[in-house]
Amino acid sequence: MEPTIIINIKNCCGCNLCVLFCSWRRAKYFEPGKAAIQVNKDYKRNRYQIVLDEEKCDRCMLCVAQCPTGTLLKGEK
């Protein structure tokens, strides 16, 4: 079994904490472009989208721990 991130998108408030903490862990500073996870606004559907770069993500689960809304959850596959 491998850890994976389960995304419950309807809960996302677009705070970007996941992006900022991921970039801090990867690059040691807050820069969204350094993160393995991105949060985009889908204006047509009026909701957020999470894009996870599977190559960059090492499943450290820091973003899951920081997400205040339960959008990101730890799972296994």
Beta partners for 50?
39
- The answer to whether the CB of 5 falls within 8 A of the CB of 65 is no
Alpha-carbon gap, residue 8 to 18, rounded angstroms: 14
Per rule CB under 6 A, is residue 20 in the interface with ligand SF4?
Answer: no
Per rule CB under 6 A, is residue 18 in the interface with ligand SF4?
Answer: yes
Per rule CB under 6 A, is residue 15 in the interface with ligand SF4?
Answer: yes
Q: Which is nearer to ligand SF4, 44 or 64 (CB)?
A: 64
H/E run at residue 22: helix 17-27
Q: Which is nearer to ligand SF4, 30 or 66 (CB)?
A: 66
CB of 1 to ligand SF4, least distance (A): 16
